């Protein structure tokens, strides 16, 4: 497995895309879309993060073991968010007295 | 007549000659690099969780006090935040270019791109410093002198203010999160700039080349990770109330 040398052109293209997406996230924020503002902002942020991960952090050419390790981070993050938010969202619904009602 | 040594003494190590940058415990340069990359990623996973709890705290408090978060967010300087986003993305570009320079054996190029990365990182911190200064002047730093009042510039904003009778208290939660999140992010950048400084000296001495530049790659992973954290911080902290302006 020889090291993969990415051409500079790809790096400049990714940089350009990241800049355009930054501008896009700023432009969308000027419009009141209600809850959709957050969905769009996070969607753009996830796209930007994916570009950085795949191209700048070379995950694109990493071994499966490395990719799996990286993904495990986001898996644990999902557990952290999932369980905590499930708790907050359901407080007072399942056991009303817990919330002091 | 002496018998042949069991281990060939072709190198000072007393065993088969290998690449000078290959540590004894590895079979090959590829295995060594894979090992470094994996270790670095395990560290980054802990970093994801470290910043993760802060993003979670942000999510929980913002759901509870949406008006305060919206109005407090509007007091940040979006232009400075936006410029900093561009500066940080630029520093990620110079970071990968430093690794590219190593891959094509361009010693001076490595040093130039590492210095550029450090320069952009420092620019980010200076701009952040000016933003912090403004927050201190405006008494937006949580503590005994904290004071926050949203400007009544439109009926919409007035309605938001009326919805939350404890706006000031809840705004201080937003600013606590703002300072902790951006502060720890800035601390990561200061550490990163320090590491880049060491790499700069070592690169100048010709320590890294096409065959061996693992420390550059690993520092790159760290630097890009810090960039990704900011990619999320910018919209979540700065752009919440942009449509109210």
B151-206 pLDDT per residue, tens: 888 888 999 999 999 999 999 999 999 999 999 999 999 999 999 999 999 999 99
Least confident span in A97-101, B43-47, B128-132 = A97-101
- CB of A19 less than 8 A from some CB of B: yes
Q: Which residues of B touch A57 (CB under 8 A)?
A: 220-221, 224-225
Mean pLDDT, rounded, for B43-66:
97
CA atoms of B61 and B54, how far apart (whole Å): 11
* Alpha-carbon distance B220 to nearest alpha carbon in chain A (angstroms): 7
* Alpha-carbon distance B214 to nearest alpha carbon in chain A (angstroms): 11
Give the pLDDT of residue A1.
42
| Cross-chain Cβ contact B100/A5 below 8 Å | yes
The complex's ipTM? 0.90
Phi and psi for B232 in degrees, rounded to 5?
-85, -35
Nearest beta carbon to residue A69 from set B41, B90, B240: B41
Mean pLDDT, rounded, for B27-38:
94
Residue among B93, B216, B222 with most chain A CBs within 10 A, to mutate: B93
Nearest beta carbon to residue A30 from set B93, B234, B242: B242
CA atoms of B231 and B245, how far apart (whole Å): 22
* Alpha-carbon distance A48 to nearest alpha carbon in chain B (angstroms): 7
Instruction: Tell me how many degrees the CA angle B40-B44-B49 measures, rounded to the nearest 5.
Output: 155
Going A72 to A77 to A80 to A81, the CA torsion angle's sign is negative
pLDDT band for position B5 (cuts 50, 70, 90): low
pLDDT digits (tens, 9 = 90+) for A16-39: 999 999 999 999 999 999 889 999
Q: Is the per-residue pLDDT at B61 higher than 60?
A: yes
* Alpha-carbon distance A93 to nearest alpha carbon in chain B (angstroms): 17
- CB of A80 less than 8 A from some CB of B: yes
Nearest beta carbon to residue B82 from set A6, A26, A58: A26
Give which of A57, A37, A40, A61 is closest to A49, Cα–Cα.
A57
pLDDT band for position B241 (cuts 50, 70, 90): confident
**Residue found under tokens 């601390």:** B187
pTM of the model: 0.91
Q: Which two tokens stand for residue B113?
A: 């791109």
Give the pLDDT of residue A55.
96
């Amino acid at each position: 497995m020889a090291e993969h040398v990415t051409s500079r052109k790809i790096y400049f293209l990714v940089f350009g895309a990241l800049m355009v997406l930054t501008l896009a996230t700023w432009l969308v924020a000027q419009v009141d879309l209600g809850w959709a503002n957050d969905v769009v902002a996070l969607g753009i942020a996830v796209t930007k993060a994916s570009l950085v991960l795949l191209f700048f952090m070379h995950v694109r050419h990493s071994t499966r073991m490395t990719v799996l390790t990286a993904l495990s981070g986001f898996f644990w993050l999902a557990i952290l968010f999932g369980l905590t938010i499930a708790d907050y969202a359901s407080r007072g619904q399942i056991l009303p007295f817990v919330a002091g009602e | 007549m002496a018998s042949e040594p069991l281990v060939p003494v072709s190198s000072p190590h007393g065993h088969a000659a290998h690449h000078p940058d290959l540590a004894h415990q590895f079979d090959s340069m590829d295995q060594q690099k894979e090992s470094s990359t994996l270790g670095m990623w395990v560290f980054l996973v802990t970093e994801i969780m470290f910043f993760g709890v802060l993003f979670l705290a942000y999510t929980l408090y913002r759901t509870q006090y949406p008006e305060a978060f919206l109005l407090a967010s509007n007091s940040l300087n979006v232009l400075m935040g936006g410029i900093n986003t561009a500066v940080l993305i630029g520093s990620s570009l110079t970071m990968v270019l430093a690794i590219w320079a190593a891959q094509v054996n361009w010693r001076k190029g490595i040093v130039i791109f590492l210095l550029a990365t450090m320069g952009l990182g420092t620019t980010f911190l200076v701009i952040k410093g000016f933003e912090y200064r403004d927050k201190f002047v405006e008494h937006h730093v949580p503590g005994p002198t904290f004071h926050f009042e949203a400007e009544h510039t439109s009926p919409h904003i007035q309605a938001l203010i009326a919805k939350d009778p404890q706006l000031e208290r809840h705004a201080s939660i937003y600013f606590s999160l703002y300072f902790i999140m951006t502060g720890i992010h800035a601390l990561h950048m200061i550490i990163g700039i320090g590491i880049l400084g060491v790499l700069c000296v070592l690169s100048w001495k010709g320590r890294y080349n096409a065959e061996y530049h693992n420390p550059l790659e690993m520092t790159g992973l760290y630097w890009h990770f810090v960039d990704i954290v900011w990619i999320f911080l910018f919209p979540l902290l700065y752009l919440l109330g942009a449509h109210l302006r």
